[in-house]
Structure 1
Amino acid sequence: MTHIARSGKDRAFDIVNYGFAILLILAIIYPLWFIIIASFSNPSDVATGQVWFWPKHWSLKGYEALFNQPIIWRSYLNTILYTGIGTLFALLVNIPAGYALSRDDLLGRKWINLAYVIPMFISGGLVPVYLTVKGVGLLNSFWVMIIPFAVSPYNIIVARTFFKQTIPASLWEAAQVDGSGTFRYFFQIVIPLSKAVLAVVGLWTAVGIWNQWFNALIYLQDQNLQPLQLILRRILITNQQLAGNTTGQLAAELQQLADMMKYASIVISTLPIMALYPFLQKYFNQGVMLGSVKG
């Protein structure tokens, strides 16, 4: 193999590229790292700017204050259930819809596609949706966080593009020769070949449900059904109000505690979702190009 000597300009270009990439990575990672170390640091050290890369004095006050709230554990369980069941239900709804729209023999496919595209730009509004949810009896129930918002036109279009570009029509023809029907073909052939789109749509859906708090604020009045994000929001607002209604040393201590709880809440609310990325990363990298045009 012939070795091609690199010029000084090429090496300088590589150094600049690697240097820029390292700076970009640090700019992304450091804020996340600071949140983690700040959640374990003494509040006064964080407030005075003494925490940079490692806690100066370790403290678990923020976590203790959060976990001493009995409703936290119930809301955490609610969020896990909403995310797990909601993701499975969304996949059950969106993936078959995307596959159906990818079939050229679907009757009225053009108009059905248009029906999915329009809601991406025009929403019915909060009041009609609320009245619909109330009318079907889902208001203030467990399933209000799962069923009404499971259909995602964007995810359906992504799935449709994947099936259209990745699953060749010859597979369906071969399956028909072997006596396979539509359902058997979909579950035994299409689904095993669609791990990338399943992982991507599932991850997008899980992140959206995990971070959801507005729907819970509107449709859930029962505190025992509310998710973690809404409970954390209420706790943080309450602590900020307490700090604002007091003066002197007590106000400073309450403000520091509120900041500690804020950092701790960010960590405990994002850690489970961040733990999923290493397992889905290879599929997610493939899914980034799902909508690209093949040459």
Structure 2
Amino acid sequence: MTTMAERPETAAPRRRRHPLRPAWEEEPTPLGRTAKAVVLTLVVLAVAFPLYVVVLTSLSPQEAITRAGGLVTVPDGFTFAAYEEILSGGVVTRSVLVSTGLTLFGTLFSTTLTVLAAYGLSRRGSFAHRPLLFAVLLTFLFGPGLIPTYLTVQAFGLLDTYASLVLPTAVAAFNLVVMRSFFMSIPQELTDSARIDGAGEFRILTSLVLPLSKAVTAVIALFYGVGYWNAFFNAFLYLSTNDKWPLQLVLRTYVLEGIPIPGAGPIDSVAGGPLPTLAVKMAVVVLAVLPVLFVYPFVQRHFTKGVIIGAVKG
């Protein structure tokens, strides 16, 4: 009879799950890792393939688009004629400049207001702390409505001005609450020591609180920037001059509805050949998507940290 000492070495038994440990904290099995890799690959393909098709179609000549019967999936020649047309000083070029300036100024303005308001509401002894906080939280439950908002913008004389695209949405209640929660998580001893050294509230905010809040500030600025860049509904409501249209409104009017852009003129030939309409549409889509794709990777490492810490703590 074989004893325990005489038995050959076998593989170590699989570690059993600890009774007090959640299942998602256990080491995944080979099957689980494979399934996760397959799912993530499918998700990446589902996101990247449409973008690939849009970019490829915008760079394809008319003959390739005609042979493909629409959107191009296999490269068959390249041309920048569509981009030359929309960036040659027409309405699309002007709308890109409008959206860029609106996004830069709006993001800076909204982030500054949110930081100042969140810091004030995070100080429990500040003026009208509870009523103001209650008013902010009330906006989560009750919105002002489209018609009252339009009448307010009209009463202040903001129609057909860029201010109508910034002021009504200058501060988002969600961003304010997240940043306030993060400020409240900063130890009170740090701000008290700065006050003992003679620092005022503004000096404490700029020299102590903000350097500790880079992650949440970057995330809030990303939220505002993407919101201003993608916004078209306020421009559709408040702007009556076509020259003031941002890029997203041009994209909606020309690409989605197929309406010729006022003042853009006919789509002329470039480099001796007819310019494909579908390529022009896809080029406008690429211009609308590229800025977010370039900016997001630089902020992504702060995204989870900024939102989770700002929302959980406090």
Closer, same or farther: CA 240–45 of 1 in aligned 2, 3 Å: farther
Q: TM-score scaled by structure 2?
A: 0.78
Contact 2:179 2:310 in 1 (8 A): no
Letter in structure 2 aligned against 1:274: L
Residues in 2 aligned to 1:30 and 1:58: alpha-carbon distance in whole angstroms = 18
Q: SS in structure 1 opposite 2:29?
A: helix
Name whichever of 10-19 and 116-125 sits farther off: 10-19
Cα deviations across residues 135-189 of structure 1 (Å, max 9, x unaligned)? 2122112322222320211110111111122x11111111111111111111111
Q: SS in structure 2 opposite 1:180?
A: coil
Residues in 2 aligned to 1:27 and 1:238: alpha-carbon distance in whole angstroms = 25
Matched, 1:199 2:218: yes
Q: Which residue of 1 aligns with 2:20?
A: none
Matched, 1:44 2:69: no
Residues in 1 aligned to 2:313 and 2:234: alpha-carbon distance in whole angstroms = 38
How far 1:65 sits from its partner (Å)? 4.5
Q: Which residue of 1 aligns with 2:237?
A: 218
Cα deviations across residues 10-59 of structure 1 (Å, max 9, x unaligned)? 3333223223222222222222222212222332244267x43x422334
Letter in structure 1 aligned against 2:209: V
- Of the three residues 275, 281, 284, the one matched with 2:300 is 281
Residues in 2 aligned to 1:112 and 1:197: alpha-carbon distance in whole angstroms = 22
Q: SS in structure 1 opposite 2:308?
A: coil
Q: SS in structure 1 opposite 2:139?
A: helix
Q: Which residue of 2 aligns with 1:31?
A: 50
How far 1:291 sits from its partner (Å)? 4.2
Q: Which residue of 2 aligns with 1:209?
A: 228
How far 1:292 sits from its partner (Å)? 4.5
Q: Which residue of 2 aligns with 1:12?
A: 31
Structure 1 gaps of 5+ residues are 243-255
Matched, 1:81 2:101: yes
Structure 2 gaps of 5+ residues are 1-10, 15-27, 262-274
Q: Which residue of 2 aligns with 1:234?
A: 253
Q: Which residue of 1 aligns with 2:166?
A: 146
How far 1:241 sits from its partner (Å)? 7.6
Letter in structure 1 aligned against 2:165: M
Q: How many residue pairs were aligned?
A: 275
Matched, 1:102 2:122: yes
Name whichever of 232-241 and 260-269 sits farther off: 232-241
Q: CA RMSD in A?
A: 2.7
Residues in 2 aligned to 1:222 and 1:27: alpha-carbon distance in whole angstroms = 38
Q: TM-score scaled by structure 1?
A: 0.83
Name whichever of 112-121 and 193-202 sits farther off: 112-121
Residues in 1 aligned to 2:103 and 2:202: alpha-carbon distance in whole angstroms = 27
Closer, same or farther: CA 151–11 of 1 in aligned 2, 3 Å: closer
Matched, 1:188 2:207: yes
- Of the three residues 190, 197, 209, the one matched with 1:178 is 197
Q: How does 1:105-144 map to 2 (within 5 A)?
A: 105-144=125-164
Structure 1 or 2, whichever has the larger Rg, is: 2
Matched, 1:265 2:284: yes
Letter in structure 2 aligned against 1:77: L
Letter in structure 2 aligned against 1:150: A
Residues in 1 aligned to 2:12 and 2:115: alpha-carbon distance in whole angstroms = 51
Residues in 1 aligned to 2:114 and 2:313: alpha-carbon distance in whole angstroms = 23
Q: Percent identity?
A: 34
Contact 1:86 1:150 in 2 (8 A): yes
